[in-house]
Amino acid sequence: MMQSRMNETDDTTFTTLYRSQSLADQAYESLRERIATGELAPGQRLTERSLAMLLGVSPTPVREALRRLEQEGLIERSGPRSLTVIDHSSESLAELQYAEIVLRAAIARFAATKIDDKQVEVLHSLVARLEALAADGTPEELLDAARRFDEMIAEIADNPALANLCRSVEVVGRSRRLRAVAVMQGKRQDVGLRHLQAHRDIVEALTLRDPDRAEKVVREHLLSSRDLLLSDLGSGS
């Protein structure tokens, strides 16, 4: 009974932090991020109990998260009660990143056929915020603004199945993206400027309701940033 109450307390704490999603979803995203950043290293053995303690939840949401990660090929079962993080090669990770790029470009294509004038204004305001943060914002603020820009395009495209598929192949975690943003704000400001221009070009293509151009601009933009994001995958964070 006491252990049950402790688990209920842990779950309540977790729910308070992440009210918008289920415990299983949050456990899944947290573990996926840790695998992508190397915090859960290739070859590392995992157990439901140890991960539940790490996340501060009961084993039930962890069990569901592990089932999803196993289906995605990020972990494999190594025993009745244990699993192992799969050691993806750099080539495999690059291929998954390319799949994400193709899907995000498709999302932009569909958004171009559905966008309205009010949504165009919102995207312009988001680009203005990106421009302001590029000069004076923190990497965290800039990354969150860029993420909101991407989310807005996905909302306009209004294809939840495609958006979920895109998220399922996203292997680059937040910590690595933050490091890339910091690099662009520091010694590679030229790359940062190109990224800002790409966001302007994306909005222009969407404003013109040009699906071919929207898809092309997003694909080229994301391909140009792939090397920076993947430059040290496999070395950990």
Q: What is the pLDDT of residues 82-116, one digit of tens each?
A: 899 988 777 777 788 899 999 999 999 999 999 99
Return the pLDDT at 78.
84
Does residue 16 have a pLDDT over 60? Answer: no
Does residue 172 have a pLDDT over 80? Answer: no
Does residue 235 have a pLDDT over 70? Answer: no
Does residue 14 have a pLDDT over 60? Answer: no
Which of the four CATH numbers 1.20.120.530, 3.90.79.10, 1.10.1530.10, 3.40.120.10 does domain 90-230 have?
Answer: 1.20.120.530
Q: What angle do CA 190, 193, 199 make, to 5 degrees?
A: 145
Does residue 204 have a pLDDT over 70? Answer: yes
CATH classification code of 2-85: 1.10.10.10
Share of the chain above pLDDT 70, in %: 85
Return the pLDDT at 145.
96
37: buried, middle or exposed (CB in 10 Å: 19+, 13-18, 0-12)? buried
pLDDT confidence bin for 230, thresholds 50/70/90: low
What is the number of helices (H) and of strands (E) in the chain? 11, 3
Return the pLDDT at 58.
92
Asked whether 82 and 204 are in contact (CB, 8 A), the reply is no
Asked whether 151 and 157 are in contact (CB, 8 A), the reply is no
Does residue 61 have a pLDDT over 90? Answer: yes
Q: What is the pTM of this model?
A: 0.71
Return the pLDDT at 81.
75
* DSSP codes of every residue in 162-185: HHHHHHHT----HHHHHHHHHHHH
Return the pLDDT at 222.
92
**Dihedral sign for Cα atoms in the order 107, 110, 114, 120:** positive
Return the pLDDT at 139.
94
Same fold, 2-85 and 90-230: no
CA–CA dist 154, 172 (Å, integer): 19
Q: What is the mean pLDDT of the chain?
A: 84
pLDDT confidence bin for 80, thresholds 50/70/90: confident
CA–CA dist 100, 171 (Å, integer): 9
Return the pLDDT at 20.
44
Full strand arrangement of the beta sheet holding 45-47: 45-47, 82-85, 75-79
End-to-end CA, the chain: 40
What number is the average pLDDT over the span 160-180? 82
Hey, which bits of the chain come out as E strands? 45-47, 75-79, 82-85
Does residue 3 have a pLDDT over 90? Answer: no
What number is the average pLDDT over the span 141-161? 96
Per residue in 21-30, pLDDT tens? 688 988 988 8
Return the pLDDT at 167.
82
For the chain, what are the domain ranges?
Answer: 2-85, 90-230
Does residue 200 have a pLDDT over 50? Answer: yes
